[in-house]
Amino acid sequence: MASSVLWRTLGRTKLLPSHALGRPTGCTEWYRNFWRTSEVFGVAPIKLHMPALSPTMEEGTIISWLKNEGDPVATGDALCEIETDKATLTMDADDDGVLAKIIIPGNTKNVRINELIALMVPEGEDHTQVEMPTETGTPSATADTPADVPAAVPVATSNASSSEFSSVRHVAGGKGHADLSPAVRYLVDSNSLDPAAIVPTGPHGRLLKGDVLKFLAGDPSARTQDPAAAAAPSPPTPVAAPAPPPPPVTHPVVPPAAAEEDEYVDIPHTNMRRTIAKRLTQSKTTVPHAYSSIDCDMDSVLRLRKQLQGSGVKVSVNDFIIKAVGKALKTVPEVNAQWTGEAVQLLSNVDISVAVATDKGLITPIVTDVPSRGLQNISETVKELAGRARIGKLQPQEYQGGTFSVSNLGMFGISQFSAIINPPQVCIMAIGGSRILVEPMEDGHRTKTVMAVTLCSDSRVVDDALASTFLENFKENLENPFKAALL
């Protein structure tokens, strides 16, 4: 209580002796400003962290900030654009206030979730007096720093000696071949050569394949001078020592003729590509894949599609396939499941993930409740979702989940293929292209159009008998579209 009375006294009186706090005379204004705690202690910030905008997101890219420092912010305002492993989304504000400090700028990649990216202050506070916390980002974010330097390898400073720099390069490159192209590395390793003994003529001192071939041909200009060997005196040769036998003649291994130098371009991984690689590797190495294939007669579907087009209804073969899969999942619900590790969950909803290729990778928007949708509705939904998927405008709920996947490469001329399951789903159907077959009959023969279908299933959940039952039901639906009421 005594200290609070003293503070109030400091804020009010103009006659307080200056020696009371060791300040010079005439410091009344300083006493008043002492009470303006934002200028002395700073304003407590509202911390903004990198959000997890999808279940598989581990890091993201801050593309741009939609607010500037000092801009007022209302709840629900879009603060910045973030590229996740699936799409580009906005981060919205949860509080009213003022954007005080942008810690991680736009165009920054590999920002880990929960990493501090910005600070806000409450309404009415001076944003320039925001108190900076000790956590101001981590080395995971890469905007201007090199991303290819391993954390365990020290980076040589400007005053490092050449020997120190060489030791760093040796650690990073293993045998010292890190900067060699595959063709040069093959020549060096095949002939047990030391790259340092060959004069490089490529840009920035790079060793070319032609340099190695000249060295192998015995060209003196291709051989470097070893300063240590030149400076060291030659050891005396015993007079009575017999001359050693000549070494056996070996023929250098020369690969087939190729271009003078193999060039390459590094394409940085996008968040989507990195996540796809991780999930596919995990699926292929932990899920026991089984494959079952069947041919489906497509003549009835093609005739019906032509009739619908004549009536102004535009649908694709893939729309018929999605509808036939949805009805088959209702008939064989054991396939409409997912593996959790603790149990096999049979799902009541039938939501089909449809693979769509984009410039950044594969994404699977979801057509929900397929059995209750009409064929035209499925067609319109797929077109709308695929269009927004290609420009990165899908919302998380439009590509997260799904109970079964369909991947169709028939339009690309692929006759048949196998796909990788998308866990926790237990099946993905791989659709190949159509082909014409000649079928023998009693009175001659007939031609028909058939399509190859491969069911890729998790054998922990779907055994061979269950996979066969599902494929037979799917085939029946597709070959009899009117009977199966695919419309």
Sheet containing strand 46-49, edge to edge, reads 46-49, 116-121, 97-102, 72-73
How far from 228 is each of 26, 196, 197, 224, 225, CA to CA, in Å?
Answer: 75, 13, 13, 12, 9
**186, 254 contact by CB (below 8 A):** no
Q: Nearest 10 degrees: CA dihedral of 432, 482, 372, 317?
A: 20
Which has more pLDDT, 168 or 272? Answer: 272
Residue 3, pLDDT score = 40
Q: Distance (Å, rounded) from C-alpha 363 to C-alpha 206?
A: 40
- What is residue 121's DSSP assignment? E
Tell me how far the alpha carbon of residue 72 is from its chain's centroid.
Answer: 34
Q: Is the pLDDT of residue 168 over 50?
A: no
For 158, the enclosing helix (H) or strand (E) is none
> Mean pLDDT over residues 47-51, rounded?
91
Q: How many residues does the structure list for the chain?
A: 487
pLDDT band of 209, cuts 50, 70, 90: confident
Q: Is the pLDDT of residue 31 over 50?
A: no
Residue 135, pLDDT score = 60
Highest-pLDDT range among 76-85, 135-144, 177-186, 344-353: 344-353
pLDDT band of 80, cuts 50, 70, 90: very high
> Mean pLDDT over residues 442-453, rounded?
90
Residue 255, pLDDT score = 60
Q: Distance (Å, rounded) from C-alpha 232 to C-alpha 249?
A: 29
**370, 323 contact by CB (below 8 A):** yes
Residue 186, pLDDT score = 78
**87, 118 contact by CB (below 8 A):** no
CATH fourth-level superfamily of 271-479: Chloramphenicol acetyltransferase-like domain (3.30.559.10)
Residue 32, pLDDT score = 45
Residue 59, pLDDT score = 85
Residue 487, pLDDT score = 54
Query: Above pLDDT 70, what percent of the chain?
Result: 74
Which distant-in-sequence residues (6+ apart) come within 8 Å of 263 by Cβ? 181
Q: Distance (Å, rounded) from C-alpha 454 to C-alpha 356?
A: 18
Residue 258, pLDDT score = 54
**356, 365 contact by CB (below 8 A):** yes
pLDDT band of 436, cuts 50, 70, 90: very high
Q: Distance (Å, rounded) from C-alpha 239 to C-alpha 43?
A: 89
Residue 442, pLDDT score = 82
Which has more pLDDT, 318 or 125? Answer: 318
Residue carrying the six token digits 């006294």: 9
Residue 167, pLDDT score = 34
Q: What does the pLDDT look like over 52-74, one tens digit per residue? A: 887 778 888 998 999 999 999 99
Q: Is the pLDDT of residue 178 over 90?
A: no
Q: What does the pLDDT look like over 279-312, one tens digit per residue? A: 899 999 999 999 999 999 999 999 999 999 998 9
Residue 290, pLDDT score = 97
- What is residue 438's DSSP assignment? E
Q: Is the pLDDT of residue 314 over 50?
A: yes
Q: What is the CATH number of domain 46-129?
A: 2.40.50.100
35-39, 215-219, 326-330, 340-344, range with the lowest pLDDT:
35-39
Query: Above pLDDT 90, what percent of the chain?
Result: 40
139-148, 329-338, 354-363, range with the lowest pLDDT:
139-148
> Mean pLDDT over residues 338-361, rounded?
91
Q: What does the pLDDT look like over 102-159, one tens digit per residue? A: 999 998 888 998 999 999 999 888 888 888 887 654 445 555 444 443 443 333 333 4
For residue 467, give both structure tokens.
């996979």
Residue 89, pLDDT score = 84
Q: Distance (Å, rounded) from C-alpha 169 to C-alpha 157?
A: 13
> Mean pLDDT over residues 444-448, rounded?
88
**Domain residue limits, the chain:** 2-35, 46-129, 157-224+248-263, 271-479
pLDDT band of 365, cuts 50, 70, 90: very high
User: What integer best gives the mean pLDDT of the chain?
Assistant: 79
